[in-house]
Amino acid sequence: MNLLAKSHYRWGQNADVVVRMPCGAGVGAGPFHSQTNEAWFTHTPGLKVVYPAFPYDAKGLLASSIEDPNPVMYFEHKALYRNIRQDVPTDYYTVPLGKASVLKEGKDVSIITYGAGVHWALETLKSENINADLIDLRTLMPLDTETIFQSVKKTGKAIILQEDSLFGGIASDISAFIMENCFQYLDAPVRRVASLETPIPFAPTLESIYLSKRKFKNALRELLLY
């Protein structure tokens, strides 16, 4: 993929390759098939990384990925298969790469996430009286920093939720971007919420302890009280 990622840049030739990447925990696949390793690929120039959370976006982003002249790593969370339902047009359409979706608008905090994390955040907001911007990134590379910065400048607080473990994850770079570009607007440190630094266990009870989902609600409350 590293060589393919540079083909369009070097020779102007299309590298029409889309690699679909089933991933994610919550399906009892243990340490073998549960990892979310999207951050491995965001560091390769020319390689695009897509991670939808909804069926409508999944179809539109897949079409855009196929049309793109650069290779695309297209992540699909296995726990969302046959679980998240949505009306999807039968006609051909595309969703642009590099454009995030703002699912909820509020003034208290910016929640930035993708994949299964979007649904974890929606679940939390249903049970909490929190006025939040909820940003579904949809594409990790290219990253829609404009939407992120606009939201953080409005709310003054940012929390980034990822299923991946913390060190070296995409949340670290998003946090750095926010600190470098929105520092004067922040009312609190940027908060990252991620899973444990360990292989993913088989047992459902241990898997639930591993996942960042269990920590998100408390982290969000702590940030709002800062």
Q: Compute the mean pLDDT over every residue in the chain, rounded to the nearest whole number.
A: 94
Q: Per the domain annotation, does 118 fall within a domain? A: yes
The 3-state secondary structure of the chain, one letter per residue: CHHHHCHHHHHCCCCCCEEEEEECCCCCCHHHHCCCCHHHCCCCCCCEEECCCCHHHHHHHHHHHHHCCCCEEEEEEHHHCCCCCCCCCCCCCCCCCCCCEEEECCCCEEEEECCHHHHHHHHHHHHCCCCEEEEECCEEECCCHHHHHHHHHHHCCEEEEEEEECCCCHHHHHHHHHHHHHHHHCCCCCEEEEECCCCCCCCHHHHHHHCCHHHHHHHHHHHHHC
Burial of 84 (0-12, 13-18, 19+ CB in 10 A): middle
Identify the CATH number of the domain in which residue 50 sits: 3.40.50.970
Identify the CATH number of the domain in which residue 127 sits: 3.40.50.920
Q: Per the domain annotation, does 85 fall within a domain? A: no
**Residue 15 lies in domain:** 2-80
Indicate whether 13 and 121 sit together in one domain.
no
Indicate whether 106 and 44 sit together in one domain.
no
CB atoms within 10 A of CB 216: 22
In angstroms, the CA 164 to CA 196 distance is: 8
pLDDT of amino acid 187: 97
Tokens standing for 129? 């009286």
Q: Per the domain annotation, does 46 fall within a domain? A: yes
Percentage of the chain exceeding pLDDT 70: 100
Indicate whether 118 and 209 sit together in one domain.
yes
Q: Contact 216/171 with Cβ under 8 angstroms?
A: no
Catalytic residue among 8, 33, 43, 77: 33
pLDDT for residue 73 is more than 80: yes
Indicate whether 57 and 152 sit together in one domain.
no
Q: What are 74's strand-pairing partners?
A: 20, 50
Q: Contact 63/11 with Cβ under 8 angstroms?
A: no
Indicate whether 116 and 212 sit together in one domain.
yes
Indicate whether 125 and 21 sit together in one domain.
no
Instruction: Give the tens place of pLDDT for each residue, 84-120.
Output: 999 999 999 999 999 999 999 999 999 999 999 999 9
Indicate whether 63 and 122 sit together in one domain.
no
Indicate whether 114 and 201 sit together in one domain.
yes
33 is catalytic: yes
Q: Contact 112/135 with Cβ under 8 angstroms?
A: yes
Tokens standing for 7? 């083909």
Q: Per the domain annotation, does 96 fall within a domain? A: no
The count of structural domains within the chain is 2
Q: Per the domain annotation, does 94 fall within a domain? A: no
In angstroms, the CA 73 to CA 65 distance is: 9
pLDDT band at 188 (very low <50, low <70, confident <90, very high): very high
Q: What's the rounded mean pLDDT across residues 22-49?
A: 91
Indicate whether 209 and 151 sit together in one domain.
yes
Indicate whether 21 and 132 sit together in one domain.
no
In angstroms, the CA 134 to CA 111 distance is: 5
Indicate whether 108 and 220 sit together in one domain.
yes
Q: What are 158's strand-pairing partners?
A: 110
pLDDT of amino acid 28: 82
Indicate whether 76 and 134 sit together in one domain.
no
What is the pTM (predicted TM-score) of this model?
0.94
Q: Per the domain annotation, does 40 fall within a domain? A: yes
pLDDT of amino acid 37: 92
